[in-house]
Structure 1
Amino acid sequence: MLVALVSGGLLAASFEPLTWWWVTPFCVAGLAVSVAGLTPRRAWWPALVFAVAFYFPHIVWMRAVSTGAWLALAGIEALFYAALGPVLVVLMRHRAWPLWGAGAWALAETVRSSWPFSGMPWGRLGFGVMDTPVAPALAYVGATGVGFGLALASFCLAAALLRLRAGTRTTATGARAPATGPRAVVAPLATVVVLVALTGLAAVFPVRLAVSGQATVAAVQPDVPGAGNDILAGFREVTASTVRETVALAAAVDAGQVPRPDLVLWPENSTAVDPFADAETNAGIRRASEAIGVPVVVGAIVDGGPGEVLNQGLVWEPGDRTAEDVTERYTKRHPVPYGEYIPARDLLEDLGVPIGNFGDLALIPRDMVAGERTTPLQVAGIAMADAICFDVGYDDVLHDQVLGGAELLAVQTSNATFIATDQVDQQFAITRARAVEAGRWLVVASTNGITGVIAPDGSVVAEVPRRSTATLLEEVDLVEGVTPGVRVGRYAGWGALALTAAGLALGLRAGRRRVPGTMEEHDPTSPAPPHPS
């Protein structure tokens, strides 16, 4: 229990804000060590301790929404890691269990990132490697592949430790230990060496895609009035500030102080009301787009059907006025359950459940509908992949658009609710990982932080401080082609499922007794080893 508690807590410290990335392999190895030798029924408990120690601190920022939301979400996600305990015990009956265990870890990350509802991708090992030697591997094997590799190295370390420990114990009792002790750790440690070497090769020979051209992009950060954490309280000022920044950029362009951008990116919730239904908002957007003379990608809340709302990126051309004019749109594909929509609302209402009596749920009168677009936006002749806020954590959003020919990546986000928490830094790290994985430049526009421009190697070229009003103007490369990491990402989950299934089949078939921690088979009919008198 103590090993599990420490390992889980340190794994949380490997992510922002501490970023103690070097502890990651030892933390994941600690989970395996904590369940070794237990029955599947008992292994649940140390795995649950590990899960709680990791995930509750990792997303403590959810308390900015409500304590209940934090406890519920962290509790659900912790169950996925807790389930790994019994699975690992079964897998450890086979000598090659680190391989099967890494598949199980990757499978758990994949499943919990998509279920229940839309899942929660925060806390994947592949998102915690920025500014480490492992980061370049994202372009080769994707976030899931990096998580698998880290888990494999971790479980190999655990296997070596368990075999050394088993060898010491059997020697003390006089029992035979044909695969324990120093010789037994050669294979797992050799695997770790190979993984380290492959990681080094990825850093020495990074993926480089063909550059098809250049573009100048602008990203606006308008800031949020007051404490900065309630965008709805001052949503008109947010829109007005965004318009002013764009008009000021246009004036600087006209004065010859800066080059004219090819496009301007506004953040999510740059307008919190439907710009086609609200005259004031519509006029402000038209004034800004006509002043700058290029397309403006507006982050807008747009009315949907009855009781529905859409979170969209609208490509607003100069001269556009109505919904029929704006034909290029991206709709957020992964709305947040209980934050942007209430799952099974109709069923709950039919059952007579008073949704309006459940605190913050009363603030969600309409359900946000998920989008289905998988192709990039066409903006000023540029194929641009768009993601809105939490969308960036889900593989399918940017992967699909890159496979559809996206030359540039963009993220429109509003982290105002979490502006005083570590969520902002965690999401920016995920965003940087996506740039490396796709091998493309990425532009982020946020309401009050963090707005920035990221290069294909994950380096931050430009950044606007939190709680400030500013506009970034940068020249970026347009890239064509697809990295191996994006291609692998489409099938990584299925590969993890196959490995886990194979490992469980082998583990369940192994019915003979084994020396604890060694994965060595023993004939239960053989005489018991002699004991010293």
Structure 2
Amino acid sequence: MVVAAPTADPVPAPPRRRRLSSAVVVRAVAAVGAGLLLYVSFPPRTLWWLALPAFALLGALVYRRRARAGFGYGFLFGVGFLLPLLTWIGSLVGPVPWVALVLGESLFVGLGGAGMAYVSRLPAAPIWSAAVWVASEAMRGRVPWGGLPWGRVGFGQPDGPLVHLAALGGEPLLSFVTVLVGLALGELVRRAVERQGNRALAVPLIIGVLAFITGPLSALVPTLSGGPGATVTIAAVQGNVPRLGLDFNSQRRAVLDNHVKETEQLASDVAAGKLAKPDLVIWPENSSDIDPLRNPDAAVQIDRAAQAVGVPILVGAVLQNSDGQTTSNSALVWEPGVGVVERADKRRVQPFGEYMPWRSFFRLFSSYVDRAGYFAPGTGPGVVDMAGTKVGVTICWEVAFDDLVESSVENGAQVLAVPSNNATFGFTQMTFQQMAMSQVRSVEHDRTSIIATTSGVSATIDPDGTVTQSTKQFTPAVLVNRTVLRDTVTLATALGAVPEWVLVALGVGAVGATVVIRRQRSVGKDEDG
């Protein structure tokens, strides 16, 4: 009988999947870290340059990956960026809605990552990838429920040399070039590590350098028409609130009284020669949550302040609409001894705060929906006339929306006013993030911006984006600024949304080109086979 020799146990295959999983974990952590790096580049810090290595790292992570991997790394990048950026939302509504919002918004960043991975095989990939990023921001800023443009890359660059690009193509161009420089940096490092030749290194180097120098050079581009005009003195009143948080809304009369008091103090300082007499005064959003058109006592208080200072006041008021259910978030031009002569209503009301979309549905998950308001969006150009000055009004978060600010300027705004109420968000970074948006808007449209908030930070911003005056948080204060009115038209104002749509088309077109190229190669392989 023949006995077969015993066979040795097969040598176990190397744990390839485990090694791949470890690599994926490392890349996932790096994606979150890159997003965190982008967050650190945003105000109140002035570390604008950190956005460049953030996108250099993201570009390396999605390079030649499948679209689904690019989506995953982009999504994690979004979480690392938006979770700390939007902590002020958590301070208001709690952790669950905050995290849910971040995860939802990160889906758009994930789509951007997928597109960037897809086009990373094309020549001059940083250009197409940066355009894909702008496309993802355009989508995030529009859907759902009007979008959330908070955290667009350009809004983190008010102190950097690229900010001047906003005057040429608005925030989308600023975002595009910032991302492009970062991606070119990453591509340069990757090729250097791979010891590619000088010719290969030259491509990303040239792209990055040329893109970066467009920032300082764009400051030299003249406006298309118009110029500086008359000079007016504008005062911004920060009356402060009794205490921070949502509770202040139950103390509406105290908030109104605070702004009346500070305005009367302004009048006293003017009479004493301590301050220049203003031509107009800006009060914050919600400075009168008591409807002065329906409550004579509030009207008397406001008119008392207006008569004391002797000039019109832009009053942020909550008005009850005729339907008896909805309200309007309005800015009223109050003439001394006359009352309201003009008004501008908030045109883009905030979902989940000022109104609740799908209220009955979301009530199944949280009782917070019953705290959301019933504000109705207004119409109109967002411009009011105050003592002969055309004032563009964007109320609070409206400053984040390109079309609203552009509409005000196109309809004759000579100066931009941003009445805001940030008291709800306490000492969070929200107010500084919002101020950075106003800095970019000032550059974009060559206008002075006046920010008046209930609790700070109130500020005046020159047309070059420089913050010339600012207040501390949760202290009463008044800013008086000598302002040069302008009717200039920048290239960004003239072009409107055109630069954004061109960049979106480039990004989408690059993805489409990649699809065609892949199919052609696949057909070629089949024919060869």
**TM-score > 0.5 by shorter chain:** yes
Change (3 A) 1:134 1:78: same
Residues 133-186 of structure 1: CA deviation (Å, up to 9, x unaligned): 222222222211110111222222333344445x55xxxxxxxxxxx5432221
Correspondence 1:226 to 2:243: yes
Of 380, 383, 392 in structure 1, the residue corresponding to residue 387 of structure 2 is: 380
* CA drift at 1:256: 4.5
Query: In the alignment, does 2:348 pair up with 1:334?
Result: yes
Residue matched to 1:260? 277
Instruction: Confirm or deny that 1:292 pairs with 2:309.
Output: yes
* Residue aligning to 1:315: 333
Q: Pick the aligned partner of 2:172 from 122, 144, 154.
A: 144
Write the mapping of 1:297-446 to structure 2, written as runs, cut at 5 A: 297-304=314-321, 305-321=323-339, 326-345=340-359, 348=360, 355=363, 358-364=366-372, 366-446=373-453
Q: Does 1:9 align with 2:36?
A: yes
Q: Which residue number in structure 2 is paired with residue 273 of structure 1?
A: 290
The 1:256–1:52 alpha-carbon spacing in structure 2 relative to 1, beyond 3 Å, is closer
CA-CA distance at 1:335 after TM superposition: 1.2
Compute the TM-score of the two structures, normalised by the length of structure 2.
Answer: 0.88
Greater displacement, 411-420 / 424-433: 424-433
Q: State which drifts further: 98-107 or 152-161.
A: 152-161
- What residue in structure 1 maps to residue 64 of structure 2? 37
Which is further off, 115-124 or 199-208?
199-208
Q: 2-side partners of 1:525 and 1:164: how far apart?
A: 35
Q: Is the 8 A contact 1:30 1:158 kept in 2?
A: yes
Q: Secondary structure at the match of 1:150?
A: helix
Aligned to 1:175: none
Matched, 1:183 2:199: yes
Counting aligned pairs with the same residue, the percent is 33
Greater shift after overlay, 285-294 or 505-514? 505-514
1:517 corresponds in structure 2 to none
Q: What is the correspondence of 1:450-469 to structure 2 with a 5 Å cutoff?
A: 450-469=457-476
* Residue identity in the other structure for 1:302: L
CA contact under 8 A between 2:166 and 2:492: conserved in structure 1?
Answer: yes
1:213 equivalent among 222, 230, 236:
230
CA separation of 1:513 and 1:95: change in aligned 2, threshold 3 A: farther
Provide the rounded CA distance (Å) in 2 between the counterparts of 1:461 and 1:156: 34
Distance 1:508 1:164, change over 3 A: farther
CA contact (8 A) 1:235 1:272 kept: yes
- d(CA) in 2 for partners of 1:148 and 1:105? 7
Contact 1:448 1:466 in 2 (8 A): yes
Matches within 5 A, 1:49-198: 49-66=76-93, 67-164=95-192, 168=195, 181-198=197-214
2: CA distance between counterparts of 1:443 and 1:336?
21
Per the TM alignment, residue 507 of structure 1 is displaced from its structure 2 partner at its CA by: 0.3
Aligned residue identity for 2:186: A
Distance, in Å, in 1 between the alignment partners of 2:272 and 2:65 is 73
Q: Distance in 2 between matches of 1:116 and 1:262?
A: 41
Contact preservation (8 Å) 1:229, 1:419: no
Shift of residue 206, structure 1, vs aligned partner? 7.0
1:200 aligned residue (216, 234, 239): 216
CA distance in 2, matches of 1:136, 1:15: 17
Q: Deviations over 1:385-417 (max 9, x none)?
A: 011111111111111111111111101000001
Letter in 1 for 2:445: A
Indicate if the aligned counterparts of 1:224 and 1:230 stay in contact, CA closer than 8 A: no
Q: Name the SS for the 1:311 alignment partner.
A: strand
Q: 257, 261, 271: which is aligned to 1:240? A: 257
CA contact (8 A) 1:140 1:207 kept: no
Quote the Cα distance in structure 2 between the aligned partners of 1:202 and 1:11. 24
Amino acid at match of 1:276: L
Q: Tell me how far apart the structure 2 counterparts of residues 156 and 220 of structure 1 sit (CA, whole Å).
A: 45
Alpha-carbon distance in structure 2 between the residues aligned to 1:211 and 1:17: 30
Residue aligned with 1:368, SS = coil
Aligned AA for 1:283? Answer: V
Deviations 1:301-342 (A, max 9, x none): 001123211000000112234xxxx34111112211111101
Give CA deviations for 1:68-94 in whole Å, capped at 9, x if unaligned.
231122111111111122212221232
CA contact (8 A) 1:144 1:489 kept: no
Give me the whole-angstrom Cα distance separating, in 2, the residues matched to 1:367 and 1:92: 46
AA aligned opposite 2:328: L
Which residue identity is paired with 1:335? V
- After superposition, the Cα gap between the structure-2 partners of 1:470 and 1:18, relative to the gap in structure 1 and judged at 3 Å, is closer
Q: Which has the higher mean CA deviation after the structures are superposed, 442-451 or 462-471?
A: 462-471
Q: Counterpart of 1:99 in 2: which secondary structure?
A: helix
- CA–CA distance in structure 1, aligned partners of residues 397 and 417 of structure 2: 13
Q: d(CA) in 2 for partners of 1:387 and 1:109?
A: 21
| Per-residue CA distance 1:277-324 (angstroms, 9 max, x = gap) | 122211101111122221110000001123211000000112234xxx
Q: In structure 2, what is the equivalent of residue 477 of structure 1? A: 484
Which of residues 494, 509, 530 is equivalent to 2:501?
A: 494
| 1:26 aligned onto 2:33 | no
- Whole-angstrom distance in 1 between the partners of 2:223 and 2:151: 25
Distance in 2, matches of 1:376 and 1:69, equals 34
After TM superposition, the structure 1 stretch with the greater mean CA deviation from structure 2, 38-47 or 311-320, is 38-47
Cα 1:249–1:501, aligned 2, differ >3 Å: closer, same or farther? Answer: same
8 Å CA contact retained: 2:64, 2:118: no
Distance 1:43 1:356 in 2: 34
What is the count of residue pairs matched by the alignment? Answer: 498
Output the CA distance in 2 between the equivalents of 1:203 and 1:383.
Answer: 26
Would you say the 8 A contact 1:87–1:504 is kept in 2?
yes
Cα deviation for residue 421 of structure 1 reads: 0.6
Change beyond 3 A, Cα 1:356–1:240 = farther
Partner of 2:19 in structure 1? none
Verify the 8 A CA contact 1:28 1:151 in the aligned structure 2. yes
Cα deviation, residue 250, structure 1:
2.3
Moved more, 33-42 or 387-396: 33-42
1:337 is paired with a residue whose SS is coil
Q: Deviations over 1:245-295 (max 9, x none)?
A: 112222333445433211111000101121111222111011111222211
Return the TM-score normalized by structure 1. 0.88
| 1:356-382 deviations in Å (ceiling 9; x for gaps) | 983222123x41111222252111111
Task: Quote how far apart the aligned CAs of 1:524 are.
Answer: 5.6
CA distance in 2, matches of 1:508, 1:162: 25
User: Distance between the aligned counterparts of 1:358 and 1:228, measured in 2?
Assistant: 20
Bigger relative contact order (CA 8 A; separation at least 6): 1
Q: Is the 8 A contact 1:94 1:510 kept in 2?
A: no
Moved more, 407-416 or 75-84: 75-84
Counterpart Cα distance in 2 of 1:73 and 1:410: 29
**Structure-1 separation of matches of 2:245 and 2:368:** 19
Shift of 1:466: 1.2
Which 5+ residue runs of structure 2 have no aligned equivalent?
1-26
